[in-house]
Chain A
Amino acid sequence: MNQKLKFVLQRFALMLISLFAVITILFLLFRLMPGNPASQLVSPRFSEAERQALLAQHGLTEPLHVQYVVYLQNVAQGNLGISFQHGSPVVPFLLNKTLNTLSITVPALLLAFTFGPFIGANFAWNRNESIDAYGTGAVLIAFAAPIFWTGMLSIMVFSFWLGWLPAAGMHSATYTETSLVDRFFSVGFLRHAILPIAIFALWRLSQPTLIMRNNMIDLIGSDFIKLKRAEGLDERTIMYRHGARNALLPLVHYMALAFGFAFGGSIILETVFSWPGVGQAMWNAVRASDYPVAQGAFTIISVAIILLNFLVDVLSVYIDPRVADSGVET
């Protein structure tokens, strides 16, 4: 069989197994967790009968294996259940929240993966000079600094001291949505999105920057760069046209993964900026023992990550055919 095709099929089978495993683990995880939807109703007035009635309302009195079969059937049909908290179907609810999340994570990642390689290439080209030393340090600090802290700091400065940007939410409190386009393409949205995008981009900047820097450093000593120098090309052309283009390849892999994680957003980022995204929905759901939503959010994120991993594998086998030879075991 064609080596490439075989590789792709193997990866596909692995993906299916991963998906099944993840979905099963998620089911068990939420049921083995102490607490249930009745637990949030901490009221001495609840009798056992009332608590049972409440559980029955949510189908939680069935034996575990029956719940599991029902759950698998539903997942196969793309039905992740009804939220305990607000009674609406989980899939449309979470897709809506995912859009909100992507509206900050995608621009942030685009920024990071556009500027990161450029900055990294410059650091590498000026290796051991002050721009590299301080710059690398700054990028590492931006990565190491907890997002809740940088987020709070930016809110304090830009919202509360300077009053330039709003501190919370995706729109002003009185906003009424007229269309999806209106939700994401308005001045109001942009003003709310600037800070979270900037903070998230800053945090994600380190990966593309440092990977690019390391790749470039490896490349700088190679023969073809020396040859280009000998040809008399100017440094800029060598750096960007010849060096950076070659060093960029491994970044594709990281980028796809980063976008997979972008679906999950960041619980911390969304909490700090009160952003109504999937991370916040997940956090609220876990706190309220709203299994369907929490489970659904984890499912969507896992599926996104597993799918993108698979796509990266397929893509890389076509970009670099050597991958297929090394087999699935790697």
Chain B
Amino acid sequence: MPSHRRKFLKRAAVTGSLVGLAGCQGDGGDATPAETQTPEPGVEYEEVDAVSWLTLSREDNPGYYEEAQQAMGMLEEIGFQFDESVYESGQWVNTLFAKDYDIANIGWSNTVERLFPYYNLYFSFHSQYAGPDGGNFSNFVSDEYDQAVENFASEMDEDARQELAYRCQEILARNVPTAFTTHPSSLIAHNTEEFSGWDPMVGEWAYFNPTTLKSATRQAGDGTVVFATTAPPEQYPNFMSHTGPAAVFLHKLNYDPLVQMSTTGRPIAEGAAESWEVVDDTTIDVTLRSGMTWHDGEPVTPEDVKFTWDYATEHGIPYLASDIEPYESSEVTGENSIRFTLSNPFAGFIPVSMYRVPIIPQHVWEGVTAENDLDHPGQWENPDMTGSGPFRMVNYEPGNRIVFEKHADHYAAGEYDFDSIVYNIYGTNSTAVGDVINGNATFTQGLGYTDWQRAQNSDTAEAIENPSIQANGLFFNVNNEPFNDVLVRQAMAYALNRTEIAQTVHQGYAQPAKSPVAPANEGYHNPDVAAYEFSLQQARSLLEESGFRYEGDTLMKPVDWEPTTEYVSVSD
């Protein structure tokens, strides 16, 4: 039976790593706590039901899958039993959004705009997204949190915003709607013979972004940068229908965003905007660079910027919905200037919205729906890819490769030390790494440990462990018993040996996590929140405090069990 096999593998892995870690085991690791209380006389107990656990199949995400197996093994140590559902991505997403689980383990992705932790804090824990179809996978509801995170999102002052982000993390750490496990590193490699001087950007997309591409200096070769990847872009090339991170990064070459991102994730004036000024909480003035042209030679005007935002608002781009939503209107205020008015203050407008929504040409897109009889411009089959970005898409063979050539009239054209860049799609990571080593490709990302080591051991490639802003964790469905008790959630958080998960699942290329905001995100990571250091003793005593008892190794729950603590406020 599959479940037996799982248990065997899991135990084998746990035992193996325990032996390996025996020398450095901290306190609290002992499996037989001294003072286990026996069931109280006069109270009727029953065995605790199996906890339903949702995870993604190994094929879809080995990291999530393996973390689930390890975590379940650890939680079995304090008496829980699990009923695991392993699904392919389609069914997994449906189940996740239906909140049809007690625990689901997932993580946030690793793209640079998430350094502004809007998604990790707002969409994942605001009560507005609790319930079916929302992205608050814990169903966590707290007025105190909502207040804090709303203030965070609308606070335009950086220091005050950091305080609010800290507060959000503090509330989460005390209430544990999610027990965080790890921040897995991004394993990335590049060839060292043709280009040098890379300044990798934080997160997964370390090289394939305009800022890092500028940092590369050509040593040899034919002036082509080849990105070896195994991930075909999501919907591409129509900008109005794009749906994922790969497409976002591809569009950044072809189109110019108003702001670019520094390699540490700060908005920098290297995009189409020469400067910007926050006039008040809902007004932002932007000055465009003068003399910019589209790939077809037409001038880029502030009218194009206004058109883009109005057009995107009118038709909608689901993937960018949250970036576009705060936009209310804009007004061309001069030859090269434009004023944005927001419907409500949104601190992420500059670092996220203005970075993710580039400028598209009015003269190309204006009549598209009428001319082609479309409901939505995203249905335009063979879109005119004229943009104003540093590169121009010249060839797209779906599933094979995408070729970009330098736009010689771009204001930063001189800073790119190569003439063309190819997004080359490989069947396997091992061939991609092989080609990076032998010089047929320039860089690759998203590697597994084995492939990454190959690059590290070669003379012609360099492998880097890039700081990650990803956070994985177990989302407790707080609507379901017994996860409506903070003590139970804290107990589970104590029972997780994060160091061991990092060692066994990620071969050490991960940091233990205690917050949705990773330490690599220096601007917002709160270093002072409770870490729930591994302690089975603490875990068991918290369960007992909540009314649970052990009969031998079996976890028992009073028949009329009620949660003792439903919420812990930070102001108390």
Contacts and interface: CB of A to CB of B under 8 A. Distances in A.
Interface hub of B88, B238, B318, B396 (most chain A Cβ within 10 A) = B318
A53 B240 CA distance: 13
A301 to B, nearest CB: 16
Contacts of A289: 90
A42 B318 contact: no
Interface hub of A87, A88, A156, A275 (most chain B Cβ within 10 A) = A87
Contacts of A50: 316, 318, 321
Contacts of A275: 427
A35 B260 CA distance: 35
B431 interface: yes
A35 B424 contact: no
A272 B431 CA distance: 8
B207 interface: no
B438 A176 contact: no
A40 B321 CA distance: 16
B217 interface: no
A192 to B, nearest CB: 11
B241 A87 contact: yes
A27 interface: no
B426 A168 contact: yes
B318 A168 contact: no
Interface in A13-46: 33-36, 38-46
Given A89-B381, A284-B399, A169 B434 contact: no
A36 B91 CA distance: 9
Contacts of A85: 232-236, 398
Given A40-B244, A174-B222, A270-B427, A86 B237 contact: yes
B100 to A, nearest CB: 13
Interface residues on B, range: 35 or more
A259 interface: no
A71 B365 CA distance: 30
A34 B88 contact: yes
Contacts of B318: 41, 46, 50-51, 53-54
Interface in B127-150: 129, 132-137
B430 A152 contact: yes
A305 interface: no
B124 A44 contact: yes
B233 to A, nearest CB: 8
A45 B119 contact: yes
Contact of A53 (B88, B316, B424, B430): B316
A284 B88 CA distance: 15
B11 interface: no
A274 B422 contact: no
A246 B318 CA distance: 65
Interface hub of B119, B383, B428 (most chain A Cβ within 10 A) = B428
B434 A159 contact: yes
Given A41-B244, A57-B375, A85-B234, A34 B87 contact: yes
A282 to B, nearest CB: 10
Interface secondary structure of A, over-half rule:
loop
A42 B396 contact: no
Given A34-B88, A86-B398, A155-B434, A39 B440 contact: no
A284 B435 contact: no
B243 A35 contact: no
Nearest to A270: B427
A270 B425 CA distance: 12
A82 B401 CA distance: 20
Interface of B: 87-91, 93-94, 97, 119, 123-124, 129, 132-137, 222, 224, 226, 232-238, 241, 243-244, 316, 318-319, 321-322, 375-376, 378-383, 395-401, 403, 420, 422, 424-428, 430-432, 434-435, 437-438, 440-441
Interface hub of B91, B135, B431, B432 (most chain A Cβ within 10 A) = B431
B243 A274 contact: no
B90 A45 contact: no
A206 interface: no
Contacts of B431: 155, 167-168, 272-274
Contact of A281 (B89, B134, B224, B399): B399
B90 A276 contact: no
Interface string A48-59: 101101100100
B320 to A, nearest CB: 9
The 3 closest A-B CB pairs, nearest first, are A35-B90, A44-B135, A34-B91
Nearest to A285: B399
Nearest to A88: B381
A39 B56 CA distance: 13
A93 interface: yes
A33 B90 contact: yes
Contacts of B226: 173
B353 to A, nearest CB: 13
A250 interface: no
Given A57-B378, A88-B382, A281 B435 contact: no
A33 B380 CA distance: 28
Contacts of B137: 44
22 contacts: A40-B234, A41-B234, A45-B321, A46-B318, A57-B379, A83-B398, A86-B236, A86-B237, A86-B396, A87-B381, A152-B428, A152-B430, A160-B434, A166-B440, A167-B440, A168-B431, A168-B440, A169-B426, A174-B403, A271-B427, A271-B428, A272-B427
A85 B89 CA distance: 17
